[in-house]
Amino acid sequence: MFRFITKSGALIVAGSLLLAGCANPIVASVEPTPTAVPTPIPPSQPTFEVTRGSITDVIQATGRVVAVQQQDLYFRVPGNLDNIYVNVQDKVTKGEVLAALDTSTLKKQIARDQAAVDAAKLDLQKAQVTVATANVGSDQDIKSADAGVLSAQAAYDSANAKLQALTNPTASDVAKAQAGVTTAQANLATAQLKLQALQAGAAPADQQKSAAAVAAAQTAVTVAKEKLAEVQAGPTPTDIALAKAKLQSAQDSFNAAKATYLAFQNGPTAADQQKAQLAVTNAKNALYAAQTSRDAACAKAPAIGKAECDAANASVNTAQSNLDAAQQALSQLGAVSDTDKMKADAAYQQAQADLTAAQAAYTAATQAAQPTDIAQAKDAVAQAEAGLQQAQAAQAGLAPTANQIAQAKQDVASAQAGVDAANATLQGVLNASPEAVRQQADAVAQANASVSQAENNAAKVRALAGAGNTNTINLAIYQKKIDQAQLQLDGDNDQLSQMQVVAPFDGIVIATNGQAGDKVNAYTAIVTVANPSQLQIAVSVPQDQLTKVVVGQQATMLLDAFPNKTVTGVVSALPAVSAAPSSSSGSPDSGSSAPSQPQGTVVDTSPKITPNWPGPGAVLGQLARVTIIVQKKDNVLMIPTNTVNKINNRTFVMLDDQGRQKPVDIQIGIQTDTQTEVISGLTVGQKVFARGL
């Protein structure tokens, strides 16, 4: 499209050309040509496609490493600062005085108040001495009279309780008396049975049992002494021969079992046949040797050789078993099953164990007796003799003595007396005699009269002691003076404590405010103390984003203390406002305008993050770049934030409708600087225009 020159413009051009033609005829003969001027094309507006993905809303801010336990300390009253006794980075302990106001005037007042308290106490002590001297006789009379009233009342209560028990016995009284009769009768039956048992003497069965125990104990003593003599004498040639025979038998059995085991493992050969035959011959020889040893051992006296005879018989049985096994192995040579091999293996292992045991027994039999063996044998003799004495004593105790029978008869008589007394008590509870009731009623009346007399006497003594006595009133006045002086002193001491700043916990000083001579207001931070053992991150979040922060949100942090590491954490505390008491909120002559917050109010606008520290390195005051993950959604519709239009209460986008812009209202969710979640109004694949140029 071109734009042509207008008619008036053409005339001007023609005139110019005519004038030029007068000077140059050639130029004048050229026809004029129209000039085309292009129309500027507006730049194209970009479009963006609606996609689906994940969107995360975060808050990025600066944080600082602070202590979990950190406190601003202040005075609770205004005054002139005497001194701050600590500097920044000083370590402090709980209870340490960190700063103080000028207390010189107050300390003088405290000294005067203490003197007043001491003087009032001395006045009271002087009055008390006077009263004690004047009333010592009266006080003693009053105490005696009151004691007489209490004694008379106790006597009356006891007499009245006895009268009630006689005239109106309760079910509990009857049950108690009946229980007493039952207990007394049971005691009587027990005593009678004990007497009868003593008079009857021991039963035949008990006597026989006791005699058998004595005989067994005597035998044990004999055996123990014989064993001691045998140990002291050392091994005999017979013992050595027996042990040697057992060792030889075990060696032969081991050789036979080993031969059988090897034969089963390698298979039968001509040599195996000869070995098997030889094993049978050796087993027969071993059996003969075992029988010879058995005959020698069993020929000893029964009390001495029984154990050796039993062992020799066992060796004979073992040798017989080995012979049977060797003969069976010879007969079965060439027809060996897996079971036979297993049995041969087990027999071989057992024979090896038996050989080891026989070798140990032979070594023991050929060695002289050791001191420990002799000591053990002597202990066995002593124990056997003690057992004999105990058995003899038990046998002697079966026959009762005359004293035991006499004591048992006395116990029966005492138990019978107890039964009679319990029956009498029961009858007295159930059927009290008129005479007993009358006597007890008289006792009650007499006790009641004694109570009245004692009360009248106490009243007279107290009236005489109190007539015209003003000492009690004077003591009360002196006490009131002490209380008043003490209240004044306590108030001054409390004010003194308010004029000191004390460390509430162990830590370090991270800030101080003021110097000696400064006027300070109440509840103005003077010293800040922190405990560096537990650290966290305080985040400076913009005011318009504070409402998005909640406890439990995840966060990441970058600190110079941990280069190339991302520290993770979680939001653990939100901003807080705490107000100190405002009764002494400020200095009256400060002259400043009213603050936006009440005096003593601490406003904390920093959320706190508890980090997962990767190790040591973080220190108080270090800066951190913090990213708080406010919320994250997956698989949502998203569009660039620069495509969203907001006018008044309307949120919309310009939809690409075949090249034309079509406004479409949408509902949005999470919105970051670059992406916006679309809840409704669009679908995946649609395209929207960016906001205007």
pLDDT of residue 142: 80
- Count of alpha carbons within 13 angstroms of residue 307, beta-carbon side: 6
Would you say residue 408 lies in a domain?
Answer: no
Contact by Cβ (8 Å): 60, 555? no
Same domain as 543, residue 605? yes
pLDDT of residue 584: 39
Question: Hey, which of 28-42, 229-243, 359-373, 613-627 has the most confident mean pLDDT?
Answer: 613-627
- What are 566-591's pLDDT values in tens digits? 999 999 999 875 544 443 334 434 44
Same domain as 246, residue 330? yes
- What are 213-250's pLDDT values in tens digits? 889 989 998 998 888 887 777 777 777 888 888 888 88
Residue predicted with more confidence, 651 or 5 = 651
Same domain as 93, residue 33? no
Residue predicted with more confidence, 107 or 37 = 107
Would you say residue 390 lies in a domain?
Answer: no
d(CA 363, CA 378): 23
Residue with tokens 């006497």: 457
| Extended strands (E) in 461-520 | 500-502, 507-512, 519-520
Same domain as 96, residue 66? yes
Q: Is a pLDDT exceeding 70 seen at residue 304?
A: no
Interval 390-408 mean pLDDT? 81
Q: What CATH number has the domain bearing residue 520?
A: 2.40.50.100
Q: Which of 605, 630, 655 marks a domain boundary?
A: 630
**Range(s) of the domain holding residue 15:** 1-41
pLDDT of residue 682: 94
Q: Which of 498, 528, 548 marks a domain boundary?
A: 498
- What are 509-528's pLDDT values in tens digits? 999 998 888 898 988 999 99
Same domain as 578, residue 637? no
Interval 537-547 mean pLDDT? 90
Q: Which of 498, 532, 548 marks a domain boundary?
A: 498
Q: Report the candidate in 624, 486, 441 with the shortest Cα–Cα distance to residue 60.
A: 624
Same domain as 439, residue 362? no
Q: What CATH number has the domain bearing residue 439?
A: 1.10.287
Same domain as 254, residue 150? no
| pLDDT, the chain, mean | 81
Contact by Cβ (8 Å): 418, 184? yes
Q: Is a pLDDT exceeding 50 seen at residue 97?
A: yes
Same domain as 358, residue 252? yes
Contact by Cβ (8 Å): 313, 294? yes
Print burial letters for 84-105: b (CB count within 10 Å at least 16), e (below 16).
bbbeeebebeeeeebbbbebee
Would you say residue 465 lies in a domain?
Answer: yes
d(CA 137, CA 133): 9
Same domain as 641, residue 579? no
Interval 593-609 mean pLDDT? 61
- What are 14-31's pLDDT values in tens digits? 444 333 444 444 344 445
Crossing angle of helices 237-266/270-298, nearest 10°?
A: 160
Same domain as 659, residue 536? no
pLDDT of residue 312: 83
- What are 367-398's pLDDT values in tens digits? 777 788 788 888 998 998 999 888 888 777 77
Contact by Cβ (8 Å): 522, 54? no
Would you say residue 449 lies in a domain?
Answer: yes
Would you say residue 124 lies in a domain?
Answer: yes
Contact by Cβ (8 Å): 429, 179? no
Q: Is a pLDDT exceeding 80 seen at residue 288?
A: yes
Same domain as 245, residue 353? yes
Would you say residue 197 lies in a domain?
Answer: no
Would you say residue 418 lies in a domain?
Answer: no
Same domain as 164, residue 128? yes
The domain tally of the chain equals: 5
Would you say residue 413 lies in a domain?
Answer: no
